[in-house]
């Protein structure tokens, strides 16, 4: 391997470590100060880099979206711990309760950081393009929902369609929550009612 190639790899690794540090520090500041209280300059000072280096990773909207990408991926992997919010759930079957539990970590995270979640929703609208994490999250959640629906006797085609509808409903609840005075209990109840509707029917194709 040539010296030039080795140096190129070292520069690439250093750049990646710097970007990780910027995102880690940005995430900590967003959680501590909120979106409005966090500046690009503060992120740069915390990470020990220039403002220009932070901007090379992204502006404040892009940084917030990147932080949410990481948080959502950690929630999906079960590696992000947060206190469980206590929601009043409507009466439900064990299956319905289990399906709701698939979504709860994400709802709990939004509940713990409601103002930041609203800023995130606004940033998604302002920034063109769709965060890559949503594609993976959509596939993983829909697969889990589909398998659970099939397990209670719903036909495969209907389970697949219901899983897609449940995921879309979940996203709709999140955006409605971010854009209104809807609370955590309201969001959980809305999603629980939608889940109840989709689990009421069995194997008809």
Query: Which ranges in the chain are annotated with CATH 1.10.357?
Result: 59-205
Question: Residue 86 above 60 pLDDT?
Answer: no
**Is 1-58 CATH 1.10.1200?**
no
Query: Which ranges in the chain are annotated with CATH 1.10.10?
Result: 1-58
Q: What is the pTM of this model?
A: 0.75
Query: What confidence score (pLDDT) does residue 205 get?
Result: 42
Query: What confidence score (pLDDT) does residue 102 get?
Result: 86
Question: Residue 140 above 70 pLDDT?
Answer: yes
Closest CA to 72 of 164, 16, 136, 165: 136
Burial of 165 (0-12, 13-18, 19+ CB in 10 A): middle
User: Quick count: other Cβ atoms within 10 Å of Cβ 173?
Assistant: 21
Question: Residue 203 above 50 pLDDT?
Answer: no
**Is 59-205 CATH 1.10.20?**
no
Report, as an integer, the average pLDDT of 117-134. 75
How high does pLDDT run on average in the chain? 84
Question: Residue 79 above 60 pLDDT?
Answer: yes
Which has more confidence, 134 or 184? Answer: 184
Which has more confidence, 42 or 3? Answer: 42
Report, as an integer, the average pLDDT of 19-32. 96
Q: What is the pLDDT of residues 174-195, one digit of tens each?
A: 888 888 888 889 999 999 999 8
Interatomic CA distance for residues 66 and 198, integer angstroms: 33
Which has more confidence, 177 or 7? Answer: 177
């Amino acid at each position: 391997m040539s010296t030039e190639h080795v140096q190129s790899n070292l520069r690439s690794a250093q750049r990646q470590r710097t970007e990780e540090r910027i995102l880690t520090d940005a995430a900590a500041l967003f959680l501590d100060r909120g979106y409005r209280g966090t500046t690009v300059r503060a992120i740069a000072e915390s990470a020990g880099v220039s403002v220009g280096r932070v901007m090379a990773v992204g502006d404040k909207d892009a940084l917030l979206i990147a932080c949410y990408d990481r948080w959502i991926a950690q929630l999906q992997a079960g590696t992000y711990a947060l206190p469980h919010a206590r929601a009043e759930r409507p009466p439900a079957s064990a299956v319905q309760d289990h399906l709701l539990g698939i979504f709860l970590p994400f709802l709990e995270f939004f509940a713990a950081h409601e103002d930041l979640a609203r800023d995130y929703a606004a940033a998604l609208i302002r920034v063109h393009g769709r965060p890559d994490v949503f594609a993976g999250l959509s596939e993983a959640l829909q697969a889990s929902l589909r398998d659970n629906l099939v397990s209670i006797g719903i036909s495969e085609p209907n389970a697949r369609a219901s899983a897609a509808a449940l995921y879309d409903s979940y996203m709709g609840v999140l955006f409605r929550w971010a854009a209104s005075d809807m609370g955590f209990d309201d969001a959980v109840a809305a999603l629980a009612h939608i889940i109840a509707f989709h689990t009421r029917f069995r194997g008809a194709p």
